A = this chain, B = another copy of it.
Amino acid sequence: MTVYKETISLQSHGQRPTFIDITTQVKETIAKSNIRNGICTVISPHTTCAVFFEEFVHDRDENGDEFLQTDLNNVLKKIIPDNTAQGQYNYPGEKHYQEVESWPEAEFYLPGGDRDALLNCDAHLKATLIGSSQIFDVEEGTLGVGTTGYIYFVDFDRARPRTRKCKIIIMGE
């Protein structure tokens, strides 16, 4: 029984949730692992990002998002509206702002000192609902999903483009 890991780097675009199809990278990681039989865990180490399993859709909206992603956004927005103003949610609070303002990298999180740049409460709550990890089957050295099943990494943070990490861990024999 062995463990094989890769950390992939992903680029989000900001403005709206960023959905990234990582199925190919997961399949490549399984192939490189030489593990024939076991499990594949996909993990977001970021608290505004999530991992989920969904059908690939050929139709895309005007932003380039697949239709099931647009529909997911619409459903989530109904219960967790975009965080566009201070006071809309409790988070971020005064201590949180002061904490971030004290960081050496404060300018990255609050460009020009603009506190609105931290309005991402909706992203935190959406990521909690969808979940930060998902497990898949590795059978005969391949990803054990049907032909229409794909793995997506989503960055719900609309505040700015970010470079994100996603961890792929294969365990088995």
**A residues whose Cβ falls under 8 Å from a Cβ of B:** 1-3, 5, 37-39, 41, 43-47, 52-55, 57-59, 61, 67-68, 70-72, 74-75, 78-80, 89-96, 99, 121, 124-125, 127-137, 139, 144-146, 148-149, 167, 169, 171-173
Contacts and interface: CB of A to CB of B under 8 A. Distances in A.
B39 A41 contact: yes
Q: How many copies of this chain are found per oligomer?
A: 3
A125 B75 contact: yes
Contacts of A124: 54-55, 68, 71
Contacts of A61: 90
Given A3-B173, A171-B171, 14 more contacts: A1-B1, A5-B137, A43-B135, A43-B137, A43-B144, A54-B127, A58-B93, A67-B93, A68-B91, A68-B124, A71-B89, A75-B125, A132-B134, A133-B135
Nearest to A133: B135
Contacts of A121: 68, 71
Which secondary structure dominates chain A's binding surface? mixed
A130 B169 CA distance: 22
A156 to B, nearest CB: 13
Contacts of A95: 58-59
Contacts of A129: 129-130
A149 B124 CA distance: 11
Given A39-B171, A131-B134, A132-B53, A125 B72 contact: yes
